[in-house]
A and B are shown apart, each in its own frame.
Chain A
Amino acid sequence: NAGVTQTPKFQVLKTGQSMTLQCAQDMNHEYMSWYRQDPGMGLRLIHYSVGAGITDQGEVPNGYNVSRSTTEDFPLRLLSAAPSQTSVYFCASSYRSELYNEQFFGPGTRLTVL
């Protein structure tokens, strides 16, 4: 199992450019999430999905879009990048389980918007 994979690992964008951060998991997890990590603020939830075709907003959704066409993939789109979106982005997945809420995290994507 590769677990949760994210690409790219690093990205530099200019203001106004668009791009998609890729996230994939091979554990057949129903739940997937995107977080951003900023200094002194921990991780904040951007969007999440409870299954293919179902997505919802988290705490900081503005400027980001998501879709979930398959169980495995959960891409995050930046429509028009802004310097405020400079951050480290983590994708996570977890089982739909009554027992566990543990999330498995990808290695992160470090994004810089100039």
Chain B
Amino acid sequence: AQKVTQAQTEISVVEKEDVTLDCVYETRDTTYYLFWYKQPPSGELVFLIRRNSFDEQNEISGRYSWNFQKSTSSFNFTITASQVVDSAVYFCALSPLNTGGFKTIFGAGTRLFVKA
């Protein structure tokens, strides 16, 4: 069975603080994709990153960074120097390769509040 767990339901930080959103997944597949999506208050889903199971390199994009550790089945997301515009719900998701995404399993989401 596949499962994505985002244990943090809500996180509240003050602007400029660093914050890490946790994601732990379960899968029997040996090849898979992991994703992070952002859902701002306007409601749309914004794709942030895709990582395949072959590539455990960490990735940095501006203030965002992702730490993928296959040994612990985790794919954590860190925002450095958070800003009010980072306030959103963030979803971690898992999908087997070559399924076009329709077997994507989403976590319950973590709501991030960044206060000015």
A contact residues vs B (CB 8 Å cutoff): 30-33, 35, 40-45, 48, 50, 58, 88, 90, 92, 94-98, 100-105, 107-108, 110
Contacts and interface: CB of A to CB of B under 8 A. Distances in A.
Given A88-B43, A98-B97, A40 B9 contact: yes
B108 A101 contact: no
Contact of B100 (A31, A35, A105, A110): A31
B45 A102 contact: no
Contacts of B96: 101
20 contacts: A30-B100, A31-B100, A31-B101, A31-B102, A32-B102, A40-B9, A42-B91, A42-B109, A43-B106, A44-B106, A45-B103, A45-B104, A95-B100, A96-B100, A98-B98, A101-B95, A102-B101, A103-B104, A107-B43, A108-B43
A101 B104 contact: yes
Interface of B is mostly: loop
Interface of B: 4, 9, 33, 35, 43-45, 47, 50, 91, 95-104, 106-109
Given A33-B102, A48-B102, A94-B100, 9 more contacts: A42-B91, A42-B109, A100-B50, A101-B50, A101-B95, A101-B97, A101-B104, A103-B47, A110-B43
A101 B106 contact: no
Contacts of A48: 102
Given A98-B97, A100-B50, A42 B102 contact: no
A105 B44 contact: yes
Contact of B106 (A42, A50, A88, A110): A42
A40 B108 contact: yes
Contacts of B45: 90, 105, 108
A74 to B, nearest CB: 11
